[in-house]
Amino acid sequence: MIMASKQEYGIPYTPLPSSQPSQTVIVLTPYRRHRRPSFLRSLRCSILFTAAILLLSAAAYFLYPSDPEINVSRIQLNHIRVLDSFRPTLDLSFSLTIKVRNRDFFSLDYDSLVVSIGYRGRELGLVKSRGGHLRARDSSYINATLELDGLEVVHDVIYLIGDLAKGVIPFDTIAQVKGDLGLLLFQIPIQGKVSCEVFVNINNQKISHQDCHRKVVEKADYMSPLWFCNAQ
């Protein structure tokens, strides 16, 4: 049996390719992000924590209420006279200038300024001035005149006689201011006090020596939760 080829029937002949076309395969390795070292993260957290502590400390420092600063700017003796009798009596007059300084960043309303004078730890008399208003970080000067006319010294007669013999009489003066600090919507009661020891020369009618120092006032009363209730 004879088989005819494709050329005999007019069918075109296409030769098969000798080999398959080559393919290029690219293998990509997975990309890994470089993580920051752990000590850098710890350093950043430490810096943020320290900054937060500093901000809170600064806020507490500026907002924490403090007592007004009281200073005696001037003490002047107007006159002194001791009537020597069976019961010695004193005629005494002092003029004082008190400086009140508001150290807070909020306004201060003080009710009054009370100045008292004493001898050997006993109060002889006092004077009370009117109150006022102090702006934040502001100061005010208050004048007060303390006069004693015909005051009998009964309890400390022996000490008074000894001081008269020396020519110098020591007196104690205490200036105290009380008020309210306007902190946002609350009124916080605060107070300041200063005391002076004044030595008066009865011969030349002058103050020979004076020693003033501010007294620390306990804050337990008005920093307790009770002041919050009273401020409503």
Q: Can you tell me the distance from the alpha carbon of 129 to that of 101, in angstroms, rounded to the nearest whole number?
A: 16
Q: Can you tell me the distance from the alpha carbon of 97 to that of 173, in angstroms, rounded to the nearest whole number?
A: 12
CB 159 within 8 A of CB 109: no
Is residue 13 predicted with pLDDT exceeding 70? no
Strand, coil or helix: 161: helix
pLDDT tens column, 54-71? 888 776 666 677 888 999
Strand, coil or helix: 183: strand
Strand, coil or helix: 132: strand
Out of 38-47, 86-95, 96-105, 109-118, which region has the weakest mean confidence (pLDDT)? Answer: 38-47
Structure-model confidence comparison of residues 106 and 2, the more confident one: 106
Q: What is the mean pLDDT of the chain?
A: 78
Q: Can you tell me the distance from the alpha carbon of 73 to that of 188, in angstroms, rounded to the nearest whole number?
A: 27
Average pLDDT over residues 95-123: 89
Q: For residue 204, give every residue at least 6 positions away whose Cβ sits within 8 Å of its Cβ, in sequence order, or none.
A: none
* Buried-exposed string 96-133: b where 16+ CB fall within 10 A, e elsewhere: bebbbebebebbbebeebbbbbbbeeeebeebebeebe
Local confidence band at 21 (pLDDT 50, 70, 90 cut-offs) = low
Local confidence band at 225 (pLDDT 50, 70, 90 cut-offs) = very low
CB 192 within 8 A of CB 232: no
CATH superfamily membership of 63-230: Immunoglobulins (2.60.40.10)
Q: For residue 107, give every residue at least 6 positions away whose Cβ sits within 8 Å of its Cβ, in sequence order, or none.
A: 133, 134, 135, 136, 181, 182
* DSSP letter string, 74-116: EEEEEEEEEE-SSS-EEEEEEEEEEEEE--SSS-EEEEEEEEE
Average pLDDT over residues 40-56: 85
* pTM (two decimals): 0.66
